[in-house]
A and B are shown apart, each in its own frame.
Chain A
Amino acid sequence: MNRHTLDVRYQLCPIPVIRTQNMVNKLPAGDIVEVLCTDPGTLHDIPAWCRINGHRLLDSEQGKDEIRIVLEVCRSA
């Protein structure tokens, strides 16, 4: 299991989602991706993208200036 960080601060939706999707699509199940964002919409969209595509949201938190979302890559059998 590897941990990856994706910095999409100052990017507007849907770019954070697209970049998360493109990174996750290349990773094996079990890898962890931490996404750093500033667009408040990512708090809704990245979890929604995870639900639609079967990945597991581990954490999401909104700090003063930045949002951090952590997900685990899952692959259906």
Chain B
Amino acid sequence: MATQRKAVALISGGLDSMLAARVVQDHGVHVEGINFFTGFCVEGHTHAIRRKDSARPKRNNALWVAEQLGIKLHIVDVIEEYKDVVLNPKHGYGAHINPCLDCKGFMVGKAREWMEQNGFDFIITGEVLGQRPMSQRRDTFPVVARESGANDRLLRPLCARLLSPTLPEREGWVDRARLHDFNGRSRKPQIALARSYGLHDYAQPAGGCCFLTNEQYAVKITDLWKSRGRRDYELDDIMLLKVGRHLRPRPHFKLIVGREEGENKFLEGYKNRYTAFRSTSHTGPLALLDGTADEADLQLSARLVARFGKGKDAASVSVEVTGPGHPPRSLEVRPLGQDEIPSEWYIA
């Protein structure tokens, strides 16, 4: 009896990687999924923080895809290693701070390591020729294969027939004739293929699946680097950039102000590590101060935070200030007027 071949599929949670894995399953190959968490992933949960997005499914799409396909999914935390991809991309950035080509090479490289450690035979991605301007081009596909070390053990089932045959095709582990020749940005072939498999529910993330392609996010992370005088980040930094209004009243600090209860609840988790502000006399947001602040800065921050609460028109608002290393205190402040908040304070 022939040995059943094993493939590891990069599963993002989107339609293309789901279809790529499904196509290879049809060839009798044992498929398991791998998903990398960089910290920049856009997930249903990121949106689920906010009430306005409560209709979106609160699910991890990669897990959901794996369950639909009946495959195991290995979620790998690559936050630390990924920093070098974001900060020093050999191939540069796309429109914002998205290092797409380096990112793809990195992820396929991590999948190759996993493949070798676990005795798998080849790697599957959902890439489609011509679909992405930076990483999914005829001239960049070989770069990913080479720099990841995957070489011809990297199979792209959705466009394989437009490319040179890979090892799994040459060895007959998959039938090249039953792979696909999808090309370009149209989604119609993928949607038709999904329908043929009876797949009707799949994630279609608006604006991509990575915050690094988001213009506002890029402005916020650039502001963070500029204010600190160095290009670096920790996980907390990049998670907090996904939440709240960000205002920088002074170069040495910024405020992150919750926009609704879901965000306030999320910010609660950071309350013990940052100076935090919340009105006790009126309903209002929780806000965190990132940076350093003297007494005048604390007063200004409290007035600003009061502006975003129900007491914005009150003569005086009580704001509790808490933080690491000092006991809670209460400030009585007059909320800033709308005309006292310059638009330049808003980051993105």
Contact = CB atoms under 8 A, between A and B. Distances in A.
Interface in B57-95: 57-60, 62-64, 66-67, 71-77
Nearest to A21: B75
A51 B268 CA distance: 31
How many of chain B's residues touch chain A, expressed as a range?
Answer: 20 to 34
Contacts of A39: 45, 48
Contact of B60 (A11, A17, A53): A17
A52 B63 contact: yes
Main secondary structure of the interface of A (DSSP, over half): helix
Contacts of A52: 63, 66-67, 71-73
A17 B58 CA distance: 14
Given A13-B43, A14-B43, A53-B72, A48 B60 contact: yes
Interface residues of A, number: 23
Contacts of A38: 265, 269
Interface of A: 9-15, 17-18, 21-22, 38-41, 43-45, 48-49, 51-53
27 contacts: A10-B268, A11-B269, A12-B43, A12-B49, A12-B266, A13-B43, A13-B60, A14-B41, A14-B60, A15-B37, A18-B75, A21-B75, A22-B77, A38-B265, A39-B48, A41-B44, A41-B58, A41-B59, A44-B57, A44-B60, A45-B60, A48-B60, A49-B63, A52-B66, A52-B67, A53-B72, A53-B73
Interface of B: 35, 37, 41, 43-46, 48-49, 57-60, 62-64, 66-67, 71-77, 239, 265-266, 268-270
A-B CB proximity, top 5 nearest: A10-B269, A13-B45, A41-B45, A41-B58, A45-B60
